[in-house]
Amino acid sequence: MDLYRVEDRRLLTGHGTFLDDLSTVPNVHHAAILRSPYPHARIRNIDASKALAMEGVDAVLTGRDVAKMSRPFASALPRQAAYYSLAVDKARFVGEPIAVVVAKDRYLAEDALALIDVDYEQLPAVVDPEQAVIDPDAPILHEDVGTNVALHRTLRYGDPEEAFRQADVVVKRRLRFPKYGSTPLETFGVVAAWNAAEDTLTIWSNFHGPFSMHPVVAQALGIPSNKLRFIVPGDIGGGFGIKTSIYPYLALIGLASRFSGVPVKWIEDRQENLMASSSGTDRVSEVELAAANDGTILGVRMKIYDNVGGYFRPPEPGCTFRPLGNYVGGYSFRNLDVDAYIVFTNKSLTGPNRGYGCPHLYFGLERVVDEMAHKLGLDPAEVRRRNLIPKAAFPYRTPTGGLYDAGDYEACLDTLLETADYEGLRRMQADARQHGRLVGIGFAFGVDPSVSNMGYVDIAATPEERKRRRPKSGATQGTTIQVDDLGKVTVEISTTPQGQSHETMVRRHIAQELGIPEVDITVISGMDTATRSWTIPSGSYSSRFASIGISSAVVTARKVLEKLGRIAAHQLEADPSDVEYVDGNFRVKGAPERSLAFRHAAGIAHWDPASLPPGTDPGIYVTHFHTMPTALPPDDEDRVNSSNTYGFMADLCLVEVDRETGEVEVKKYWGVHDSGVILDHKIAEGQIQGSFVHGLGGAMYEEMAYDEDGAFLTGTFMDYLCPTFLEVPPLETRYVETPSPFTVLGSKGIGESATETVPACIANAVTDALRPLGIEVNELPVTPTKVWNWLQQAQSEA
């Protein structure tokens, strides 16, 4: 029986190759990491002598060694707030790596951790990003910066002052968005082997890109980039952006190997993962919206405090600026003011996490849109309709520089209202309210950016600062196809997938392009930077595959076919323009008897270069790097097309709140997606369902929680609450398919979509449910305790 995906057979039978399954090099030793128990502490001294005396222990690496052997990681904050792979002078969050033990096995390495004596001087901690900035007594994390503001940018588009002057109505809300992460089931894993004879460092890991982190690690380690080799296995156990931030450990375990003289393996355990891996930022914000009486949005102001934790590491401040091009969502307002602080606090570090910046953005924007509709006594669906960018306006340039490729937003809204029977829901709600039940209906709309433009990161700098640097741009992805002498095809992809079915999709589309059976194609995933084609943006992140990944594969296949066509034409003594390709055969138009099979054309390239047309190289080995011409650097007005394709989702959900217990039940959720041409509905559905549950987690269950003194409270999967089979409400999805003019197949990313709007949608629905009591949900997650407290408060005020 044929399986649905080419990946499935190995994964279903226990024959996948994940990082911890690899045989790498002989004599691999094992690392365990000592981590700070304190949120903020000076490290006076580390005495590892007892650990070193233990049988089976090879070495103990401390911050002092790391500071000698490496440089701080490069970031947008040059020469400040140095971030090394181990704490050097201070620990700045619970779980920060303090020392590494290398031992014969992991059990012994963990035994040795207990024997390391660290003399800490505890310091006061701060965890709230706003307080870290405005409270004059807040402890300063990085003395050389002198403030907890890592970065501050004010961005202004259109004429926001005028918009607010003209407004009939202004609503303003303070919002808190929590810190959470996608916690892939496979944690970080690294094997590093320093080869002293050749001065090379080979690192196996489940890193999923972008490979811009390769030069970052090479620079930190002070080794030539061509002496640093990254190898990634074909299977990665989930990533969701989180595994981008493995790179500090690539450096750390690389140093541990160099220091100890043996190859070293480190598998992050779940406790380490929860306290110190990576997560999205928590955000405190004030969002203010100006509107006319008919609900037309005139302008928006946002004040943002994004919490990057103890250090600032690339690709931050992506949390703030990755969605810059789509800051206006699906709406046509032109006036925007952004006052963004990226802040240090004593929490763990952040990085890309599914939706990167978008759940935060839409939580703010969609909350105030709803409050504006409420204030004007308008229906939230109608207010949104009034502001949607019309279909005829595409490609649409947003005030922040985004270039929306295509979309039919109003069709999405219509489909949503019809599918969910919106009027029926409102009648049902009215009836339920009559009976004292707290039933709510919420909306959230969002524009889903895919394929990040490498240029957006430069928004961290001012236009003046940018003028002194070389610009960044592009969104490149490469594919290599080789056809052997028997016409069998091997494809190397550089997308380092983590479950997104890239092998299946690439095989299917290359088979179509080459006109050969899928079984004749083998797709190789994973990566080896020393032997395979890659470039800075390679990898899987920002939902790149369905836009740039598949475009790259298809164009590469077309180049292969073009070369084979030339070879065939020469063989058939015809002009290439007279040769057509039908059913796996090149043949002369009008003379089908003059034909050459695909595999014979390939055979000539390998066995008989003498028969090749003049100027044609032997062999069939084609690498094509595909980029987007729309990925340009920011302009002088801070406008940037931060992504390259933009999907759209219109969400609606129905909730009920238990008055007695404060429990929220999401009874049903509807989502309509316009992500261009859907390449495979079953796989797209899987992506949406998965991203829906991540959004649900952030809205209701998951939080990396700290007490106000910086103690970390969610170090186990008993406290960090991932939704299970029983927490997932029914989701109904529909598609509007407006082809993207910017991609080869008209498709675009969809993997992050729902996760961006679900938190806002649930917050709006619970607010709607509690509207009769005057309660608004302006912070997440919505837990029973919180809701119950709000209910008590409302009762005592009533």
Q: Which residues of 352-387 are buried (b: 16+ CB within 10 A; e: fewer)?
A: bbbbbbbbbbbbbbbbbbbbbbbbbebebbebbebb
Q: Which of 79, 76, 119 is nearest to 99 (CA)?
A: 119
Q: Which two tokens stand for residue 298?
A: 């005139």
Helix H, strand E, coil C: the string for 708-770 is CCCCECCCCCCCCCCCCCCCCCCEEEEECCCCCCCCCCCECCCCCHHHHHHHHHHHHHHHHHH
Vertex 562: Cα angle to 561 and 563 (nearest 5): 90
In degrees to the nearest 10, what's the CA dihedral of 407, 446, 689, 725? -160
Site for other proteins in 322-341 (CB under 8 A): none
Please answer whether residues 632 and 453 qualify as being in contact, where contact means their C-beta atoms are separated by less than 8 angstroms.
yes
Among 186, 405, 651, 656, binds other proteins (CB under 8 A): 186
Site for other proteins in 701-720 (CB under 8 A): 701, 705, 713-714, 716-719
Instruction: Provide CB contacts within 8 A for 134, sequence distance 6+.
Output: none
Q: Is 4 in the site for other proteins (CB under 8 A)?
A: yes
Least distance between other proteins and beta carbon 35 (Å): 13
Q: Is 607 in the site for other proteins (CB under 8 A)?
A: no
Least distance between other proteins and beta carbon 110 (Å): 5
Least distance between other proteins and beta carbon 680 (Å): 9
Site for other proteins in 727-756 (CB under 8 A): 727-728, 731
Using the minimum distance from each CB to other proteins, give the nearer residue, 3 or 519: 3
Q: Which stretch binds other proteins (CB under 8 A): 56-64, 547-555, 576-584, 778-786?
A: 778-786
Among 95, 160, 178, 237, binds other proteins (CB under 8 A): 237
Q: Which two tokens stand for residue 706?
A: 């700290």
Among 39, 97, 184, 401, binds other proteins (CB under 8 A): 184
User: If 0-12 CB within 10 Å is exposed, 13-18 middle and 19+ buried, where does residue 197 land?
Assistant: exposed
Using the minimum distance from each CB to other proteins, give the nearer residue, 9 or 44: 9
Q: Which residues of 215-247 are buried (b: 16+ CB within 10 A; e: fewer)?
A: ebbbbbbebeeeebbbbbbbbbbbbbbbbbbbb
Using the minimum distance from each CB to other proteins, give the nearer residue, 21 or 294: 21
Least distance between other proteins and beta carbon 345 (Å): 19
Site for other proteins in 187-206 (CB under 8 A): 187
Using the minimum distance from each CB to other proteins, give the nearer residue, 106 or 599: 106
Among 36, 62, 148, 183, binds other proteins (CB under 8 A): 183
Q: How far apart are CA 190 and CA 246, in angstroms?
A: 9
Among 11, 52, 54, 432, binds other proteins (CB under 8 A): 11
Least distance between other proteins and beta carbon 626 (Å): 25
Q: Is 14 in the site for other proteins (CB under 8 A)?
A: yes
Instruction: Provide CB contacts within 8 A for 553, sequence distance 6+.
Output: 479, 491, 493, 506, 509, 510
Site for other proteins in 104-163 (CB under 8 A): 106-107, 110-111, 114
Q: Beta strand pairing status for 90-91 and 149-157?
A: unpaired
Q: Is 27 in the site for other proteins (CB under 8 A)?
A: no
Q: Which stretch binds other proteins (CB under 8 A): 86-94, 192-200, 230-238, 597-605?
A: 230-238
Among 235, 316, 638, 651, binds other proteins (CB under 8 A): 235
Q: Which stretch binds other proteins (CB under 8 A): 277-285, 426-434, 526-534, 726-734?
A: 726-734
Using the minimum distance from each CB to other proteins, give the nearer residue, 329 or 781: 781
Using the minimum distance from each CB to other proteins, give the nearer residue, 4 or 607: 4
Using the minimum distance from each CB to other proteins, give the nearer residue, 513 or 651: 651
Least distance between other proteins and beta carbon 726 (Å): 4
Binding mask 611-650 for other proteins (x = CB under 8 A): ----------------------------------------
Using the minimum distance from each CB to other proteins, give the nearer residue, 290 or 791: 791
Q: How far apart are CA 91 and CA 148, in angstroms?
A: 15
Q: Is 8 in the site for other proteins (CB under 8 A)?
A: yes
Least distance between other proteins and beta carbon 698 (Å): 13
Q: Which of 63, 102, 64, 109 is nearest to 85 (CA)?
A: 63
Using the minimum distance from each CB to other proteins, give the nearer residue, 63 or 181: 181
Q: Is 367 in the site for other proteins (CB under 8 A)?
A: no
Q: Is 432 in the site for other proteins (CB under 8 A)?
A: no
SS3 label, residue 648: strand
What percent of the chain is helix, strand and coil (3-state, nearest 5)? 35, 25, 40
Q: Which stretch binds other proteins (CB under 8 A): 168-176, 446-454, 571-579, 687-695?
A: 687-695
Q: Which stretch binds other proteins (CB under 8 A): 135-143, 450-458, 538-546, 685-693?
A: 685-693
Q: What is the DSSP letter of 609?
A: G
Least distance between other proteins and beta carbon 723 (Å): 7
Least distance between other proteins and beta carbon 687 (Å): 8
Please answer whether residues 112 and 31 qualify as being in contact, where contact means their C-beta atoms are separated by less than 8 angstroms.
no
Q: What is the per-residue DSSP string for 132-183? A: HHH-TTSPPS-TTT-SSEEEEEEEEES-HHHHHHH-SEEEEEEEEE------
Using the minimum distance from each CB to other proteins, give the nearer residue, 507 or 626: 507
Site for other proteins in 30-89 (CB under 8 A): none
Site for other proteins in 661-680 (CB under 8 A): 661-663
Least distance between other proteins and beta carbon 8 (Å): 4
User: If 0-12 CB within 10 Å is exposed, 13-18 middle and 19+ buried, where does residue 544 land?
Assistant: buried
Site for other proteins in 463-502 (CB under 8 A): 498-501
Among 127, 132, 163, 236, binds other proteins (CB under 8 A): 236
Q: How far is CA 570 from CA 122, 576, 612, 615, in A?
A: 78, 8, 7, 12
Using the minimum distance from each CB to other proteins, give the nearer residue, 399 or 497: 497
Least distance between other proteins and beta carbon 727 (Å): 6
Least distance between other proteins and beta carbon 13 (Å): 5
Using the minimum distance from each CB to other proteins, give the nearer residue, 25 or 721: 721
**Going edge to edge, which strands form the sheet with 438-452?**
438-452, 643-657, 664-674, 731-735
In degrees to the nearest 10, what's the CA dihedral of 96, 100, 103, 109? -30
Using the minimum distance from each CB to other proteins, give the nearer residue, 190 or 417: 190
Q: Which two tokens stand for residue 12?
A: 């279903």
Q: How far apart are CA 185 and CA 204, in angstroms?
A: 18
User: How many residues form the binding site for other proteins (CB under 8 A)?
Assistant: 77
Using the minimum distance from each CB to other proteins, give the nearer residue, 589 or 682: 682
Using the minimum distance from each CB to other proteins, give the nearer residue, 462 or 716: 716
Least distance between other proteins and beta carbon 360 (Å): 20
Q: How far is CA 311 from CA 82, 158, 314, 773, in A?
A: 8, 33, 10, 42
Instruction: Provide CB contacts within 8 A for 541, sequence distance 6+.
Output: 208, 209, 210, 239, 241, 244, 352, 356, 452
Instruction: Provide CB contacts within 8 A for 427, sequence distance 6+.
Output: none
Amino acid making up residue 769: A
Binding mask 248-277 for other proteins (x = CB under 8 A): ---------------------xxx------
Using the minimum distance from each CB to other proteins, give the nearer residue, 439 or 791: 791
Least distance between other proteins and beta carbon 677 (Å): 19
Q: Which of 722, 734, 727, 771 is nearest to 652 (CA)?
A: 734
Q: Is 721 in the site for other proteins (CB under 8 A)?
A: yes
- Count CA within 13 A, CB hemisphere, residue 504: 17
User: If 0-12 CB within 10 Å is exposed, 13-18 middle and 19+ buried, where does residue 681 land?
Assistant: exposed
